[in-house]
């Protein structure tokens, strides 16, 4: 079964407007567009940032909106601000996707080759059919349970804080197949940590050496000074879950993808890598939301794509509006869909009536 499917032509990715400086140093400021529904946007912000957190959204700690490459709106909850680093949770998965792209561009990775996973190399091991592409598309078929409720059986909790915490990739790679590779979509943080170790092996860089690569090839060119990536004892970047950044730095990362992997005229991600991220992956009919390759699809309208994280962390790119929206907060698990709906309304404020 094919790992991808076509659902219409991908919308074009906008270039940085002429005369708008890149935010490598400081963000160029702009005003809300005249056509924006400012009154509706104000109501949405007042609701989210009420002194007492609203029951439907929980706490909203930060919102940053970038339009046409300029910072046009930002707001912070009490105790937060532009210099406060926020947790990425699974937004780190999209950072892992960028790092994979850099190594693909270097010629060190082939996403359609068998993934470099030592645990799967025995003769006859059916997991040898798993490619890096299938891992990036969450279609490995591994029997890994993604659940964040402590009283439920949860492989992700055990990986991050239990028996697997010292070597997250080995823990995740030790699971057997539950489905034929490529035949079943299942979102799994363990999958990303397998990818992360494969990247370290391809670069021959673990721990501090891999962090230096992250900073030299990705963060520093964008002017991202706040990232705090976390590594396990084995030296693997825990790319599933842990890279703290300020909201403005997450917006820089989102802008890189909105600009097709180009920054200040230099291509940081290989041609076509962003399109690969936003090409829909085949999913069974009961999947909650559309998925690409380590990016989610469509939560702010057709063509939008986003890095999503637990507790309601989002970096959304909207090509049709040349827009990036970042939201950080702490939303209860049973209300996880509400920030998505709220963000879709925020983006709608910038669409023509």
Express each pLDDT in 143-153 by its tens digit: 999 987 777 77
Query: Do the domain assignments include residue 225?
Result: yes
Give the Cβ contact number of residue 105 at 10 Å.
17
What gap in Å lies between CA 270 and CA 349, rounded to an integer? Answer: 33
CB within 8 Å of 336: residues ≥ 6 apart? 312
Sign of the alpha-carbon torsion through 323, 344, 39, 54: negative
Query: Do the domain assignments include residue 30?
Result: no
Find out whether 256 and 263 touch, Cβ atoms under 8 Å.
Answer: yes
Express each pLDDT in 115-134 by its tens digit: 999 999 999 999 999 999 99
Tokens of 166: 């010292």
* Number of domains making up the chain: 1
Place of tokens 């823990």: 171
Q: Report pLDDT for 305.
A: 98
Burial class (CB in 10 A: 0-12, 13-18, 19+), 125: middle
Query: Do the domain assignments include residue 24?
Result: no
pTM for the model: 0.96
Q: Where are the alpha helices (DSSP H) in the chain?
A: 38-48, 91-105, 132-136, 155-161, 168-173, 189-203, 208-214, 220-222, 247-258, 273-277, 337-348
Q: What is the mean pLDDT of residues 235-249?
A: 98
Query: Do the domain assignments include residue 55?
Result: yes
pLDDT band at 5 (very low <50, low <70, confident <90, very high): very low
Query: Do the domain assignments include residue 127?
Result: yes
What gap in Å lies between CA 333 and CA 222, rounded to an integer? Answer: 32
Q: With a cut of 60, say whether residue 3 has pLDDT above it.
A: no
Query: Do the domain assignments include residue 206?
Result: yes
Q: Report pLDDT for 149.
A: 73
Q: With a cut of 70, say whether residue 65 has pLDDT above it.
A: yes
Query: Do the domain assignments include residue 317?
Result: yes
- Give the H/E segment covering residue 76: strand 70-76
Q: With a cut of 70, say whether residue 2 has pLDDT above it.
A: no
Express each pLDDT in 165-178 by its tens digit: 999 999 999 999 99
Q: Domain holding 97: CATH number? A: 3.40.710.10
Q: Report pLDDT for 8.
A: 58
Q: With a cut of 80, say whether residue 253 has pLDDT above it.
A: yes
Which three-class secondary structure state does DSSP give residue 254? helix
Burial class (CB in 10 A: 0-12, 13-18, 19+), 118: exposed
| Residue span of the structural domain in which 332 resides | 38-348
Find out whether 213 and 235 touch, Cβ atoms under 8 Å.
Answer: no
Q: With a cut of 60, say whether residue 335 has pLDDT above it.
A: yes
Express each pLDDT in 191-222 by its tens digit: 999 999 999 999 999 999 999 999 999 999 99
Q: Report pLDDT for 291.
A: 98
Query: Among residues 342, 334, 343, 288, which one has the least CA distance to residue 311?
Result: 334
Find out whether 241 and 202 touch, Cβ atoms under 8 Å.
Answer: no
Q: What is the mean pLDDT of residues 281-295?
A: 93
Mean pLDDT of the chain: 95
Q: With a cut of 70, say whether residue 226 has pLDDT above it.
A: yes
Query: Do the domain assignments include residue 270?
Result: yes
E strand intervals along 105-231:
228-229
Q: Report pLDDT for 4.
A: 52
66 versus 4: which is more confidently predicted? 66
Q: Report pLDDT for 352.
A: 86
Q: Report pLDDT for 1.
A: 32
């Amino acid at each position: 079964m094919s790992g991808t499917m076509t659902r219409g032509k991908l919308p074009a990715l906008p270039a940085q407007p002429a005369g708008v400086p890149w935010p490598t140093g400081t963000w160029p400021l702009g005003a809300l567009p005249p056509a924006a529904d400012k009154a509706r946007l104000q109501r949405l912000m007042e609701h989210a940032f009420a002194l007492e957190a609203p029951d439907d959204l929980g706490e909203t700690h930060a919102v940053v909106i970038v339009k046409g490459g300029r910072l046009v709106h930002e707001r912070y909850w009490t105790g937060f601000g532009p210099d406060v680093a926020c947790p990425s949770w699974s937004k780190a998965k999209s950072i892992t996707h960028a790092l994979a792209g850099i190594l693909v561009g270097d010629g060190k990775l082939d996403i359609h080759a068998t993934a470099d996973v030592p645990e799967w190399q025995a003769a006859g091991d059916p997991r040898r059919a798993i490619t890096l592409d299938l891992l990036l598309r969450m279609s490995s078929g591994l029997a890994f349970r993604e659940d964040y409720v402590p009283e439920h059986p949860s492989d992700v909790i055990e990986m991050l804080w239990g028996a697997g915490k010292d070597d997250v990739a080995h823990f995740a790679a030790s699971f057997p197949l539950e489905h034929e590779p490529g035949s079943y979509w299942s979102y799994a943080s363990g999958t990303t940590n397998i990818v992360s170790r494969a990247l370290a092996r391809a670069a021959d860089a673990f721990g501090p050496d891999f962090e230096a690569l992250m900073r030299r090839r990705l963060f520093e060119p964008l002017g991202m000074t706040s990232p705090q990536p976390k590594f396990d004892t084995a030296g693997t970047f825990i790319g599933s879950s842990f890279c703290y950044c300020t909201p403005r730095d997450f917006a820089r990362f989102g802008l890189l993808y909105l600009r097709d992997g180009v920054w200040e005229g230099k291509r940081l991600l290989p041609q076509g890598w962003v399109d690969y991220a936003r090409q829909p992956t085949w999913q069974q009919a009961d999947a909650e939301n559309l998925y690409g390759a380590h990016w989610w699809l469509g939560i702010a309208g057709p063509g939008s794509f986003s890095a999503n994280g637990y507790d309601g962390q989002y970096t959304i790119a909207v090509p049709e509006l040349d827009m990036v929206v970042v939201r950080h907060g702490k939303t209860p698990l049973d209300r996880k869909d509400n920030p998505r709906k709220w963000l879709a309304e925020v983006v709608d404020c910038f669409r023509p009536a």
